[in-house]
Structure 1
Amino acid sequence: MANSRVLLGDLKAGRCSNVAEVRLLRFWEARNVRKGGELMSVDMLFVDENSTLTQGSVGANRQLRFRDRLSEGSLYTLTGFDVTRSNTNFRLSDAPFSIRFNEGTKLDKIPTSVRPIPTELFRFMPYSQILELANTGKQLPDIIGELSAIRSTITDRLPGARRVMLTLLLESGENVCVSMFDSMALAFHTKLDSYGREPRVIIVTSVNPKIVGGRLFLNGTSGTHLYFDSETSAGKELFDTLPGHGADPGSSTSKVVHAQKVEPMTISELNKFITTADSQIIEFLCTAEVTGIQLDDGWCYIGCSGCSKKLIREISSFTCVSCNETNAVAALRYRVKLSVSDHTDSASFLSFDMEMAKLTNIQASEAAQIVGIGVDAQVDTELPRSLADIVGKTYTFQLKLNDFNFSSKHQTFTISRIFPERLLAPMPAFVVAEGADVPDDAPPEIVAQPPNANVGTTSTGADSPASTDASAAKRPPTAKDQDDVDKTAPKKAHVE
């Protein structure tokens, strides 16, 4: 007797012997970077005739049995699988249950179906709802928007230092930044190169919303796929509404900030560069010894616990301009001005909370206390031992220069990352495909994927600003935020 049919919305916990007829929307690898990129599972998203979206997973020990059968956009019959309760964190669907392949699972591709199973399904959310999800780790929504800019940077000498940032204009009028790292960034450029032109509409799936420095960033995860222009019905619908969508594809004005390699420089070369070069946004690596810590302005500041911006003293309260909040909750933040030198010259490098906390392994709030109450609050100004200990040591600093550095008021170079010398690799030959872009920095533990794992196609049928003296608001996401990126890897691949 043939097994009866079951809809994804009717699944119950336990082993299911009924047959589910589904479409495989997309699949990806979940890897554990803490164990050298060890493969943990292959995860996927299924949809049925009722547009019920359900996550599936096959463990590493069984994935070879099914891997060659997986084809995004294809139809399948699925039977003999386990039904388990969905994880409440980093969810890719609203279904209460998910599917786990076992030793008895059968997955058979079928050419057609009499059931009207959708060829695509996205979880688009309004901007206000995405904001509510930021920093909660509850949902990984999809996003669609018109491409406003692409910025990417690559660092050959530093492991995992690749990043692409897309700025998308939403239909509601807001601009959001989407960040992708490492193999995901390279996969984006592979798709961009093969596409032959710059897309106008981009769909990015399974992003993790984060508020960093008062701004919304959408970080890519292992489940992130990208679709350009009319590759999907949803993309085509938006693409057709844009002015000039029927124009010659090659006639558009480039939005790409072309591939920027982060080159090493001596301090002398750096000081000369800002006096001879045109004003620009550019990054360099500089290896130097920390010779001292400048304490004229202290080593920390009282910042907003929410966005990290420096709080403004009012008559009877502290105010956060970024959050528009009076009586904002105060927190101590690092703002450390380092005197550095190499064999060629000396300079001042400025580092904020994120990098100093990573370097010292101590938060500013642990190194000192806020003394006093309300507007009388002051900071214990004694230099912490953790900071004093870095004097005399040599580090490689990644510096981000912007218009400020090319002005007469320039005094310091802002640090975007700090690396011990032992992390540096020899400089290899650098080759960038024409038109490719490259990223600032990468999260410590993004889930690794093969080169094209995050670039999808359907079947027929996000620039983080640099830090300023007043705040850490214009920094890349913190180490903690980047760890969260890893955890956004759907299922066991929780590493953001």
Structure 2
Amino acid sequence: MGINFISDLRPGLCSNTICVRVSRLWEYRGKNDEDQIKHLDMVLIDEKGDSIYAEVPDDILSKFQPILHEGQIISIRRITLDRAKAIYRAVDNPLMIRLNQYTEIAEPKDPAPDFPKYTFSLTPISELNQYIGNQGAFLDVIGKITAVSNAATLETSSGTIKLRRIIHLVDHSENMIELSLFGPRAQEFDGDTVYEVGRKSLVIAIFVGTSMKQYKGSAPFLSGIAACRWYVNENDVTEIRDFYKCLPIQAEPVKKLHLKNHEEIQRQIETKSLLELREINPFDHVGFKFECTAVIIQVAQNQYWCYPACTTCGSRSIFDGGKYHCSKDSCTGTSIEHRYKVCLIASDTTWQL
């Protein structure tokens, strides 16, 4: 069978060969980085520069994960073409590839020396806010790095501990967006090197596979988890070269930010009794955290044990007009997951609530 390009692919089974580069490769484990791999994800790019998302299901991971590597050029045949996923699309293509037990992967002979490496669709920093809570596609951004933090442990709302690193990105008009890398991505990003290079010269970066988030009481920010990748001062990326040319030669040094580990934060939390907590004015203590030791004495009656939670922000979703809508005004999420919410009554020597 002949060699096809990505643009030639059609839905269904495909026995033809396509020659592609594995531009990005990541493991999808769900919300918990410690969970088992649910599927292996890739962004593939062909010689013409067209791209497509591809997925290796968990039941054939052992066959294909050892032979797939980011950056390699492969010939692949006997694949299945499906409609692209409705949410968190990595590239703009109506189709996606699923590998199966019959898929064959080989190293091509004499691939083109200028075979494309990267694929992205840049969204200006000034336009990012309109994508808060939007799950349709991942966002790709370019900017000058002006600050970078250490990787610090963070306790999430679900009680799990994750690594987090903060990066400040600025465009030509000094619009700034904060990017948070989480989990393995926070650890993999070489913040020390970026800081050292940024003390004397400009650091231009493209981050792909991000999404816009906003939590209660916080400013909007870009989130980078498993699908996120970055290209820092890559001279073979035209967009980075063009961005650099539009900046003044004299650069402000990259700032070093300090993030506190959750252990440091815990040590600073003040201990209160239930009675003292009852007397606290919440308007005077916005953002404050307190610790209290109490005994659970009862499960609250006439309370729901679970609720439909928005997968974007975690707020309660309301079913209306044939679909779910997030109850949070600033969130446009329409997909849900059911979460437990058990209401308890606790008591110490001062009060019960």
With structure 1 as the length reference, what TM-score do the two structures score? 0.51
Q: Deviations over 1:187-217 (max 9, x none)?
A: 12xx334668345122211001124447331
CA deviations over 1:228-248 (Å, ceiling 9, x no partner):
212651334433544347x9x
Which amino acid is the alignment partner of residue 274 of structure 2? T
> CA offset at residue 148 of structure 1?
1.5
1:217 aligns with 2:221: yes
CA deviation string 1:68-125 (max 9, x = no partner): 3323222221110000110111111111110011111111122533496422221211
Post-superposition offset of 1:35: 9.6
Contact 1:145–1:169 (8 Å) recurs in 2: yes
Between the aligned partners of 2:70 and 2:224, the Cα distance in structure 1 is 19
SS at match of 1:63: helix
Number of residue pairs matched by the alignment: 295
Q: Which amino acid aligns with 2:240?
A: G
Aligned to 2:256: 256
The question of whether the paired residues in 2 share the 8 Å contact of 1:166 and 1:179 is answered with: yes
- Percent pairwise identity: 20
Unaligned runs of 5+ in 1: 265-281, 302-333, 343-357, 365-385, 394-496
Partner of 1:207: 210
> In 1, Cα distance between the equivalents of 2:53 and 2:227?
11
Q: Provide the C-alpha distance between the structure 2 equivalents of 1:177 and 1:259, rounded to a whole number of angstroms.
A: 13
Corresponding residue for 1:416?
none
User: Residue 239 of structure 1 aligns with which residue?
Assistant: 244
Contact 1:294 1:338 in 2 (8 A): no
1:59 aligns with 57
Aligned counterparts, 1:8-87, within 5 A: 8-33=6-31, 36-87=34-85
Q: Is the 8 A contact 2:145 2:254 kept in 1?
A: no
1:88–1:261 CA distance, 2 compared to 1 (3 A): closer
Question: Of Structure 1 and Structure 2, which has the larger fraction of its residues in strand?
Answer: 2
Task: State the alpha-carbon separation in 2 of the partners of residues 229 and 206 from structure 1.
Answer: 18
Task: Name the stretch that deviates more: 232-241 or 179-188.
Answer: 232-241
Corresponding position of 1:120? 118
Partner of 1:185: 186
Matches within 5 A, 1:216-365: 216-230=220-234, 232-233=236-237, 234-244=239-249, 253-258=253-258, 260-263=260-263, 284-286=267-269, 288-292=271-275, 293-295=277-279, 297=281
Match of 1:197 in 2: 196
CA-to-partner distance for each residue in 1:421-467, whole Å, 9 max, x for gaps? xxxxxxxxxxxxxxxxxxxxxxxxxxxxxxxxxxxxxxxxxxxxxxx
> What is the match of residue 368 of structure 1?
none
Q: Does the C-alpha gap of structure 1 residues 112 and 130 become closer, same or farther in structure 2, counting only changes over 3 Å?
A: farther
TM-score of the aligned structures, taking structure 2 as reference length: 0.70
1:296–1:65: structure 2 CA closer, same or farther, 3 Å change rule? closer
Specify the SS of the correspondent of 1:26. strand
Deviations, residues 110-148 of structure 1 (Å, cap 9, x unaligned): 253349642222121123543332212111011111012
Superposed CA offset, 1:284-324 (max 9, x none):
44363433234575x579xxxxxxxxxxxxxxxxxxxxxxx
Contact 1:4 1:18 in 2 (8 A): yes
Distance 1:61 1:194 in 2: 39
In 2, Cα distance between equivalents of 1:240 and 1:337: 45
User: For the Cα contact (< 8 Å) 2:195–2:256, is it kept in 1?
Assistant: no
Alignment check: 8 A CA contact 1:201 1:228 kept: yes
Query: Which amino acid in 1 is paired with 2:208?
Result: T
2:46 maps to a residue whose letter is D
Unmatched segments (≥5 aa) in structure 2: 294-308, 317-341
Q: Which has the higher contact order (CA 8 A, sep 6+)?
A: 1
**CA deviation after TM superposition for structure 1 residue 43, in Å:** 0.6
81-90 or 158-167: bigger deviation? 158-167
State whether residues 83 and 94 of structure 2, in contact with CA within 8 Å, keep that contact through their aligned partners in structure 1.
yes
